[in-house]
A and B are shown apart, each in its own frame.
Chain A
Amino acid sequence: MSFLRRRRGSDDPAPDGTGKDSDDDKFEKPRWGSGGKKDKEVAPVRARWSCMDSCCWTVGFICSSWWMLLFIYNTMPASFPQYVTEAITGGPMPDPPGVKLRKEGLMAEHPVVFVPGIVTGGLELWEGHQCAEGLFRKRLWGRTFGELYKRPLCWVEHMSLHNETGLDPPGIRVRPVSGLVAADYFAPGYFVWAVLIANLARIGYEEKNMYMAAYDWRLSFQNTEVRDQTLSRMKSNIELMVATSGGKKVVVIPHSMGVLYFLHFMKWVEAPPPMGGGGGTDWCAKHIKAIMNIGGPFLGVPKSVSGLFSIEARDIAVARTFAPGFLDKDVFGLQTLQHMMRMTRTWDSTMSMIPKGGETIWGGLDWAPEEGFNCSARRTRNNNGFPGPIGKVSVDNVKGANYGRLISFGKDVADQHSSKIDRIDFRDAVKGTSIANTTNCDVWIEYHEMGVAGVKAVADHRVFTAGSVLDLLNFVAPKLMKRGSAHFSYGIADDLDDPKYDHYKYWSNPLETKLPNAPDIEIYSMYGVGIPTERAYVYKVAPMSDCYIPFQIDTSVTGENEESCLKDGVFSVDGDETVPVLSAGFMCAKGWRGKTRFNPFGIHTYVREYDHAPPANLLEGRGTQSGAHVDILGNFALIEDVIRVAAGATGDDLGGDRVYSNIFDWSEKIQLDL
C-alpha cells in the first residue's frame, strides 16, 4: 500500500509549463509531501508529474528489478537450479547416463555418426535476393529463422526450391549448416542432439569421433549428392574416422527421416559410380558396427499424406515449429496455409515419407494390422487409473476404427462397411479449368488447376487406402508427384534381383532394397510408444472461396466415448506422436528379422521401445523419459543404450528386444512375402 500511495502522490501535483525545473522538483517533492510548511516556497517551481513520468518510473522500476534479478541469477552458483529441483522433487536426480556410465568405466570406443532428420537441421543463406540482405551465413531455418517475422514472403521465397528441378531457384543458395552445431539445438533452448552429445562427451567423445552428417533435408536424397556432394562427404568422413580411430567401426545414429537417408546412403555407397559412391559391396561391413535408428519412419507416415494433401496435420513438425497458433487458419486466413503449402511442395524430401507398401502394410478398406487397438487402454495404463473392464468393453467398439482407410470423406464413410460405400473412380475425371478466380491468388498451387469437377471427383471416391492415396496425390498434384516419382518409390518388390532396383529411387524404400552384405552389423529400431499418433483422417470438402485449398480435415468429428481413437477428425494409434509403431518397428520386428529376402545376409535386428512418460514437473523441461518423436533424444534410457553400443556393447548385451506395444502381433498380421 505504501508503495502505491507514494506513486499516487507523484501523480497529483499541479502542472508547470517548464520541464527545465523538473530536477529541482524531484528534490522538492518529498518535502512538499511530508509536511506542508514549506509548500509556499516550493510551489512556484513545482513541475508537473505527468503520465509520461509515471511511465518512466514504472519502466525504470521494472528494469532495475530485472537487472537485479539478472545479477542475482548470474552470481548464483551453477548448481543452484539443480539444488532447487532436488529439493522440490525430493531426493537427488538420477545421474545423467554419461556420468553413470563413466563411473562404470565405459570409455569412447567407436566413432559416432549422427544423421539428423527432416526439419531439425539448420539451413543458412549463402546467396539471396535483395530482400534478404544482411542474412549472409545466418540461419534461415533454425535459431531465429532469419527474423522471419520481418519479411515472411521473402523468407518463403528463399526457403522454397525450384518447382521443376527440386534444386536451387536461380539466385538463391540456401545450404545446410555443417558440424555438430547443425542440429544440436533447433531453436535456442530446444535441444535435438545436444543432450546425446553432452552425454557422449562425458565418456570421452569429442568432435574428432563424432560427426554430424548434416544435409539439406529439403532435397531428395540423391540430389543432396548432386548439389552438395553430401553423400561423398559422409563416406569420406566415415572412412577418415575409422582410419584415425584405429580401425574401430562407426556407430550410426539416424533420427527420423535420417533413417531413410541412411538407407539410401548404404545403397549409394555400394553402387558403382557415377550413380553411386563406388565403395564396393563390402564397404558397410568394413565401416559400420551398428545402425541405431531412432524413430525411423521406415514405411512412411500417414501424416505426410495429410501434409501434402492439405498441409493440415495440425501437429506436423513443419507447422508446429513455427509456434503453435501461427498457422491457425482463423488468424491468418488460408493465404498463409497456401504459402506454406506451396513452399513445402517444392521440397522433394517430404515425399520420402509417403506410406510405403500400400495395402499390404497399411491395411485395406476393411482390414488393418493395428485393428483392435484400444486407445484408452494405453492411456489408462499410463494413468494407472482404470482396471481391466473398460479395456474389455472397448474391444467391441474398436472394430469401428478402419485404420486402413487413410482418408475418408465424412465420418459415416469412415465407419461403414466397405460394401456399403458408393465409390466413383476419380482417376479419369476431367479437371475443369479453374472456375475459381485465380487472379486474386498470388500463390500458385496445383489446386487452382483442378477445378470444381476435379474436387468433386476426389470427394466422390469417398475412401482412400494406402494404395489409392498415391493415385489421389497423383491426381491432385501431378507435377509434384512427377518430380517425386523420379526420386522415391513406394511399392513392394516382387523380385529384388530385378536390375531396375539398381536405380536410386528405390534405395530409401526398405521394401524394395536388400540390406548390405555385412552380417556383423546390428540394426536397432528405437522409438517411443504410448502417445496417440495420427494414422487416418476424416476429410470434408471446404466451402468455395476464391483462393482456397478445397479439402480440409473435418475437425468436428470426434468419437462419442472416451475410448475412441477418433478425435478432431483424426484416427490415432500407438506411436511416438509422429511415426506409428508399425512404421518404426515392422522392419526390425519382422521384415528384416532373421534371414529374409530383404535381409539376405542375416543382419541382427533389435526392437527397443521406450514407453512415454510425460515430465513430472516443469523443472524437468522436456523430460528424461519422453517417448515423443524429438524429445526422445533426451530420454535417458535411450541415451544409455546408445552410449553402451558406442562403447562396444552388442544388442544382446543390452538385453535384446524391449517391447511395450503390440508390434509383434501387428507384424504377424501383415502378409508380406519374406
Chain B
Amino acid sequence: MASIRRRKPGFSDSEEKVRKDESLADEIEEEDEDKNNGKDKEGRVSGQLGKWKKEKKVKAPRWSCLDNCCWFIGLVCVIWWLLLFLYNAMPSSFPQYVTEAITGPLPDPPGVKLAKEGLRAKHPVVFVPGIVTGGLELWEGYDCAEGLFRKRLWGGTFGEVYKRPLCWVEHMSLDNETGLDPAGIRLRPVSGLVAADYFMPGYFVWAVLIANLARIGYEEKTMYMAAYDWRLSFQNTEVRDQTLSRMKSHIELMVATNGEKAVIVPHSMGVLYFMHFMKWVEAPAPMGGGGGLDWCAKHIKAVMNIGGPLLGVPKAVAGLFSAEAKDVAVARAIAPGILSRDFFQHQMLQHVMKMTRTWDSTMSMIPKGGDTIWGSLDWAPEEGYLPSKRRYTGNGSQPIDDNERKESTHRPKVHYGRIISFGRDVAESPASEIKRVDFRGAAKGYGDVNASCRDVWTEYNEMGIEGVRAVEGYKVYTGDSILDLLNFVAPKMMARGSAHFSYGIADNLDDPKYGHYKYWSNPLEAKLPNAPDMEIFAMYGSGIQTERAYIYQASPSECYIPFQIDTSANDEDENSCLMDGVYSVDGDETVPTLSAGFMCAKGWRGKTRFNPSGIRTYIREYDHAPPANLLEGRGTQSGAHVDIMGNFALVEDVMRVAAGATGDDLGGDRVYSDIFKWSEKINLEL
C-alpha cells in the first residue's frame, strides 16, 4: 500500500499543476484510509474526487479500450509465465506422481523390468520405418521454399505448410513419369534415429521402443534406423539414394563390430521394404546387392514385422481411387479436418490426390493375391465375422451366448470380397442378381466437364463422363478386378507402378522372370531366403475395426473426383460392420488381420514353396485396449497401427528377442483373432 501511494505523487511531478494535485492526492489518500475503516464515507470521497477531476479536466487521462486489451493480455501473459515457471520448477517425476495417485502405481516400463531381470543388449537392432512416419527434409528447392534448407517438409512442423500449401505440395510431389525427383527439387530422407523417433513433436513412433532398448544397454552403435524415402518405389530408393546399399553396409558393420546377427524390426510398409531388401541383397549386381545366397543366413537372426501389410491393404485402393479413405494415414497426418470436403471443397482433395499419385510407394500396398486371398463376389475368408463379438471378448465381461450367434446367422451376409460396390443394394444382393457391364473396353470421352476450372491435374479429367459411367456400370470390384479398375482410371500411374510392383500369385516360383525386382516385395511371388535359423514374427494389433470394403457412389459436381464413398450407407444395428459406407473387419485400424497374419499363419508356416528352407514363423497378436484415461496418452496396450509401437507387451517381445530369446522362448504364437480359421479357408497352393 505504502509504495503505491508514494508512487502517485512521483508520477505527477513533471506537471505544472502538480502541487495542487499532490495536495489533493494526499487528501484522497487519507480518505482511502478512512474508507478502509468504513464504507460510509464513500460519498464524501467521490465528492472530493469530483472536485479534483474538474480541475484536472484539461489534461485528464483516458482509459481506452486499447488499454483494457493491454491490461488483459498482460494479465494472461503473467499468469502464463507463472504457470510455466511452476511447471519448470516442478520435479520431473511430478506428472508420474499424479498419474499414480489417480490410477495406482504404473507398471514398470518393459526396459526397466527386463533390465532388472538381467537382460543385456546382445543383437544389434535395425528399424525399418513405414510409409508416412519417416521425416523428409529439403536439400534443394524453388524460391518459394527459401529458408527451408535441411528443414523437414514431412514430419516435425511440415515446413510450415500452412504458410505455403501449394509450394509444399509442389515440393512433396515426385515427377509424374519417372517417379523420381522433379527438376530442381531434392527432398531427402532424414537419417539417423531422429528420422522416425517422433513423427511430430509429442507424437512418438519409434521413440518408446528406442528408450526401452536403451535401458538394457542399446545405443546408436547397436541401433540403426534404416530410413528411406518412402515416396519412392523400393528399387528407386537404391537408384537415387543407394539406400539399400547403405542398409547392407550398416548391417554388415554392426554384425562385424558386435559379433552377433541383427534383429530387424520393420513396421508397416517397412515390412514390404525389407522383403524387397532380402531379395535385393541376394541378387547379383547390378540389379541386386550381390551379397550372395547366404547373406541373410549370416546376418539376420530374426525379422519382427510389426503391423505388416504383407498382402496389401484395401485402404490403399480407396486412397488411390478417390483419395478418400477417411482415416488413411496420409490424410490424417496433415491434421484432421483440413481435408474435409466441406471446408476446402474438392480442390484440396485433388491436390492431395495429385501429390499422392506421384508416390510410387502407395502402389506397393494394393491388395495382392486377388480373389484367391481377398475373396470373390460371394465368398471371403472373413465372412461370418462379428464385430460385436470381438468387442465383448476384448472387454472380457460379457460372454458370447448362443442366442447372439444364432441371431447373427439371420443377418444379411457381408460380402467382404466386393472391395468396391456401387450402391448398397449391389453390395448386399447375391452375385447372380447383379447386372454388370464390362468397363474394360469402354471409350473414354474427352473431358466434357468444364476443363478450365481445374488447376490440378488428375487423370480423371481425361476420363470424361463415358468413362465414369462405364466404371459405375460394372457395379462390383473384387481383388482381381480392382487392378483392372485402377488401370482404367489411372493408366499412367499404373503403368509407372507396374514396373515396380506386382500383385499376383506365382504359379512357378522358379520361373526366371521372378528374378525381376518388381516381384521382390510380393510374398506370393518371392521365396524366402535360404536361412533356416532365421525367425519371422508377424506382430500386429487386433480388435479394432479396419476398413475392408467400400460402397461408392458417382459424385455429381463440376470440378471433381467423380467417385466418392457413400457415407450415407449405414447400419443401425450395433452388430453391423457397415458404417459410413465402409465395411470393416478385425485388424489394427489400417491393416486387416488377414493381410498382416496370413503369411506367417499359413503361407510360410512349415516348409512351403514360398518358404523352401523352412524358416520358423510366429504370430504375435496384441489385443487392443484403449488408454484408460487421458494421462496415459496413447496407451500402453494399444493395438492401433502406429500406437502399437508403444505397446508394452510388444516392446517386451522385441527386447527379449534382441537380448537373445527365440520365438519359442516367447511362448510361440499368441492369437486373439480368427486368423488361423480364416487362413484355412484360403485355397492357396503351398
Contact = CB atoms under 8 A, between A and B. Distances in A.
Interface of A: 5-15, 17, 26, 29-30, 32-36, 39-40, 43-44, 46, 50-51, 53, 55-64, 78-79, 126-127, 133-134, 136-137, 173, 175, 178-181, 184, 197-198, 201-202, 206-208, 228-229, 232-233, 236-237, 239-240, 243-244
A232 B257 contact: yes
Given A6-B64, A14-B32, A30-B64, A60 B219 contact: no
A73 to B, nearest CB: 12
Contacts of A40: 46-47, 50
B11 A8 contact: yes
A51 to B, nearest CB: 5
Contacts of A46: 46, 49
B60 interface: yes
B214 A33 contact: no
Contacts of A178: 192, 220
Interface string B44-72: 01110110011001011111100111111
Contacts of B465: none
A29 B63 contact: yes
B662 interface: no
27 contacts: A8-B61, A9-B63, A11-B11, A17-B35, A17-B36, A26-B67, A26-B68, A30-B63, A32-B63, A33-B62, A35-B57, A36-B54, A36-B57, A43-B47, A51-B7, A53-B71, A55-B78, A57-B74, A59-B77, A61-B74, A64-B69, A127-B215, A133-B92, A137-B193, A208-B246, A232-B253, A244-B246
B25 A12 contact: yes
B147 interface: yes
Nearest to A7: B61
B242 interface: yes
A173 B45 CA distance: 71
B19 to A, nearest CB: 15
A60 B74 contact: yes
B168 to A, nearest CB: 15
The 10 closest A-B pairs by CB, nearest first: A9-B61, A60-B74, A43-B46, A29-B63, A56-B74, A59-B74, A60-B73, A60-B70, A39-B50, A244-B242
B33 to A, nearest CB: 9
Contacts of A60: 69-77
A57 B146 contact: no
A11 B78 contact: no
B219 A10 contact: no
B93 A179 contact: no
Given A15-B36, A32-B53, 6 more contacts: A6-B61, A6-B63, A40-B50, A198-B149, A228-B221, A232-B253
Interface in B208-247: 210-211, 214-215, 219-221, 241-242, 245-246
A9 B220 CA distance: 63
Contacts of B146: 78-79
B291 to A, nearest CB: 13
Nearest to A25: B63
B140 interface: yes
A17 B150 CA distance: 58
B448 interface: no
Contacts of B219: 126, 173, 175
Interface string B7-25: 1100110000000000001
A198 B76 CA distance: 41
B64 A175 contact: no
Contacts of A39: 46, 49-50, 53-54
Contacts of A34: 60, 62
A198 B50 CA distance: 69
A61 B70 contact: yes
Contacts of A175: 219-221
Interface in B262-293: none
A61 to B, nearest CB: 5
A15 B256 CA distance: 79
A74 to B, nearest CB: 8
A237 B257 CA distance: 14
Interface residues of B, number: 73
A53 B192 CA distance: 51
A5 B59 contact: yes
A46 B50 CA distance: 12
A148 B62 CA distance: 47
B188 to A, nearest CB: 5
A10 B63 contact: yes
Contacts, number: 190
A206 B141 CA distance: 13
A14 B31 contact: yes
Interface of B: 3-4, 7-8, 11-12, 25, 28, 31-32, 35-36, 39, 42-43, 45-47, 49-50, 53-54, 57, 59-64, 67-78, 92-93, 139-140, 146-147, 149-150, 186, 188, 191-194, 197, 210-211, 214-215, 219-221, 241-242, 245-246, 249-250, 252-253, 256-257
Contact of A14 (B3, B49, B69, B242): B49
Q: Specify which of A15, A40, A127, A201 lies most central, judged by the most chain B CB atoms within 10 Å of its CB.
A: A15
Given A30-B62, A126-B214, A179-B192, A208 B241 contact: yes
A602 B72 CA distance: 76
A197 B137 CA distance: 14
B515 to A, nearest CB: 23
A43 B214 contact: no
A8 B14 CA distance: 11
Nearest to B163: A74
Contact of A240 (B45, B197, B215, B245): B245
A90 B265 CA distance: 57
A229 B253 CA distance: 10
A233 B246 CA distance: 12
Contacts of B54: 36, 39
B194 A179 contact: yes
A179 B7 CA distance: 58
Contacts of B194: 179, 181
Contacts of B36: 15, 17
B380 to A, nearest CB: 45
A180 B195 CA distance: 12
B67 A10 contact: yes
B93 A57 contact: no
B111 to A, nearest CB: 11
A15 B68 contact: no
Contacts of A243: 245
A173 B213 CA distance: 14
Which of B62, B63, B74, B140 is the most central at the interface, judged by chain A CB atoms within 10 Å of its CB? B63
B363 to A, nearest CB: 25
A236 B241 contact: no
A33 B52 CA distance: 11
B260 to A, nearest CB: 13
A32 B28 CA distance: 16
A64 B73 contact: yes
A505 to B, nearest CB: 23
Given A12-B25, A240-B246, A33 B63 contact: yes
A17 to B, nearest CB: 8
A477 B640 CA distance: 59
A239 B252 CA distance: 12
A206 to B, nearest CB: 5
B46 A33 contact: no
B216 to A, nearest CB: 10
A401 B625 CA distance: 78
A79 B146 CA distance: 8
A537 to B, nearest CB: 40
Given A11-B11, A79-B146, A208-B242, A236 B253 contact: yes
B139 A201 contact: yes
A63 B242 contact: no
Question: Which of A12, A134, A173, A180 has the most CB atoms of chain B within a 10 A radius of its CB?
Answer: A12
B249 A236 contact: yes
Interface centre among A8, A134, A178, A180 (most CB of B within 10 A): A8
Given A57-B70, A236-B253, A14 B45 contact: yes
B84 to A, nearest CB: 14
